[in-house]
Structure 1
Amino acid sequence: MKNILMTNVGFKKLKKKLNYLINIVRPKIIKEIIEARAHGDLKENSEYHSAKEQQSFIENKIKQFELKLSFAKIIDITKIPNNGTVLFGSTITILNLNKKKKITYRIVCDYESNIKKKLISVNSPIASNLIGSKINDIVFIKTPLKEIKYKILKIEHI
């Protein structure tokens, strides 16, 4: 597996979620399994089977998070000289030339992305087309319905 780019904030959030699963959720499910076993016959014990399913789901989540953290490469954008190029971690203001509308995004890892907070994944169509671009560049983004033109107005490394 290759490195997974993350901001320090994203790394800490993922670590916090992992700790929550390990220290809170896992023990709770184990307790539920023990209680369900006490009810006797496991063949028709829906509480037991439900708890075992939850356990399997949580254990898989824990493995996923541990794997992501083990391959995480934390990028501190503030330590990268701002040469006016869009990079992972950049905060960019772009103008949708089709709608004449400005929008600001920050390019983050998949795990951190949240469109409501204007955090877009580095792997999203918009970000992947913007990476490497400079101020005043025109970038074309193809969508299933049309092609959208964006002009890069501002690039910040904050």
Structure 2
Amino acid sequence: MSKIPLTLTGAEKLRAELHRLKTVDRPNVVAAIAEARSHGDLSENAEYDAAKERQGFIEGRIQEVEGKLSNAQIIDPKALDADGRVVFGATVDLEDQESGDAVTYQIVGEDEADIKAGKLSFASPMARALIGKFAGDIAQVQAPGGLREFEILDVRYE
């Protein structure tokens, strides 16, 4: 499996999720299974079936998060020296050339992406159009509504 890029913050969030899954969610589902078992006949026990399904989900998610962390290439944006170029982890201030709207995005890993929080997956069309460019450059992005142009106002590594 290839390396999965993650920012320092994204890796910390995955570690916190893994800790919660192992120390809170897993014991809770084990207790729920024991409780449901005590009710008798398991063949018609909806609580037992639901608890077993939840246990399967939790165990699957633990394996998924452990896999991502073991294959993670953790990048600290503060330690980057990209000479003002847009790279993974960079925070980019943009201006939409058509509307004049200003937006700010940080380019992050796929698991960290949250457009409402200004976190853009490095695999998205917008991020791919930005990577490698400098402040003052125009990035052309193929959007569902057609080609859009954004001017890169500033590139920061924070």
Instruction: Give the alignment's TM-score, normalised by structure 1.
Output: 0.95
Q: Secondary structure at the match of 2:33?
A: helix
Count of aligned pairs? 158
* Partner AA of 1:152 in structure 2: I
Alignment of 1:66 with 2:61, yes or no, is no
Q: Aligned-pair distance for 1:77?
A: 2.1
Alignment of 1:42 with 2:42, yes or no, is yes
* Partner AA of 1:89 in structure 2: G
* Partner AA of 1:47 in structure 2: E
> What is the aligned partner in structure 1 of residue 111 from structure 2?
111
How do 1:9-158 and structure 2 match up within 5 A?
9-158=9-158
Q: Secondary structure at the match of 2:89?
A: coil
Q: Distance in 1 between matches of 2:76 and 2:12?
A: 13
Q: Distance in 1 between matches of 2:82 and 2:109?
A: 20
Tell me which moved more, 21-30 or 69-78. Answer: 69-78
CA RMSD of aligned residues (A): 1.1
Q: Aligned-pair distance for 1:125?
A: 1.5
Specify every segment of 5 or more residues in structure 1 that has no aligned partner in the other structure, as ranges: none
Ranges of 4+ aligned residues in structure 1 off by more than 6 Å: none
Q: Distance in 2 between matches of 1:155 and 1:144?
A: 26
Q: Secondary structure at the match of 1:39?
A: coil
Q: Secondary structure at the match of 1:110?
A: coil
* Partner AA of 1:113 in structure 2: A
Q: Distance in 2 between matches of 1:143 and 1:117?
A: 20
* Partner AA of 2:81 in structure 1: P
Q: Distance in 2 between matches of 1:82 and 1:24?
A: 41
Instruction: Give the alignment's TM-score, normalised by structure 2.
Output: 0.95
Q: Distance in 2 between matches of 1:85 and 1:50?
A: 50
Report % sequence identity. Answer: 39
Q: Distance in 2 between matches of 1:65 and 1:81?
A: 29
Specify every segment of 5 or more residues in structure 2 that has no aligned partner in the other structure, as ranges: none
What CA deviation, in whole Å up to 9, does each residue of 1:127-158 have, x standing for no partner? 12111111211111112221111111111112
